[in-house]
Structure 1
């Protein structure tokens, strides 16, 4: 009897009670310096941990365009192009003001950086740093994002 109840809970009831994942878009900003590829990381505004620029989809923009907008606002990336198809996805739990975590799935778009501005909307709220993909993978917290970075 216990196995039947456990099976019903695990395959029917528990999935129905889970909150659906929200969707974000992210820009994996990179450049080539000599024969080396570098990745641009920024700090988050709340915890100061290292992340890639990301945010919510923007009505009227394709996901890749919204990722490019986030790269501008959070890192100062200008006059660059984002690949239209995501190069991967990662999930994380976003802490809400209420103290609850919200599950988020993030689509990652490749952005080849051609210009970086010193004056951008969140310049005074974030630190940015160019690092190797392997160093970037060691600096971010999300295991799926680490894998994407290590594949560069």
Structure 2
């Protein structure tokens, strides 16, 4: 088998493989005074595109624990993570060798209770708290856009009502 035949055969095998699995955290909070729902987005370290914290499976950790760990390492937040997944999205991960592989990301909601001043990837990403609608505009992955918008709908009943001003 010639070199090009081997490359072609290997490529066909890689494209037929099921997607690799990652776990992510959709980090959220309610602004204290306004009661508005905000989600945390960050830039990726390599391309600078807007993403949520995610990572590969870790030995001895369950999916939601991996999501919680990635949120701490990548964006410096701690909080209450949901054990049940919020949903899934797919993207193509560029490997160091230039090959793109399909990845399925299982997303867990994480209600942020603490934003840390120091964390492993501090300074390597830009972090911003935005509305779900704004987050959906920023991210590239269509299924992640939908997850943000569905999350906003799901959380609507949990948003505290705004105080009304008394009529004078």
Compute the TM-score of the two structures, normalised by the length of structure 2.
Answer: 0.79
CA distance in 1, matches of 2:133, 2:117: 25
- RMSD over aligned CA atoms reads 1.5
Deviations 1:98-139 (A, max 9, x none): 111010000000000000012110002111100000000000
CA distance in 1, matches of 2:29, 2:17: 37
Paired residues of 2:83 and 2:108 also in contact (CA < 8 A): yes
CA distance in 2, matches of 1:35, 1:81: 18
Distance 1:147 1:117, change over 3 A: same
Question: Deviation of residue 16 (structure 1)?
Answer: 9.8
Which ranges of structure 2 fall in alignment gaps of 5 or more residues? Answer: 1-11, 153-168
Moved over 6 A (4+): none
Compute the TM-score of the two structures, normalised by the length of structure 1.
Answer: 0.87
Distance 1:84 1:97, change over 3 A: same
CA distance in 2, matches of 1:76, 1:51: 14
Question: Deviation of residue 35 (structure 1)?
Answer: 2.7
Rg larger in 1 or in 2? 2
Which ranges of structure 1 fall in alignment gaps of 5 or more residues? Answer: 1-13
Q: How many residues align?
A: 138
Question: Deviation of residue 31 (structure 1)?
Answer: 0.2
Counterpart position of 1:6? none
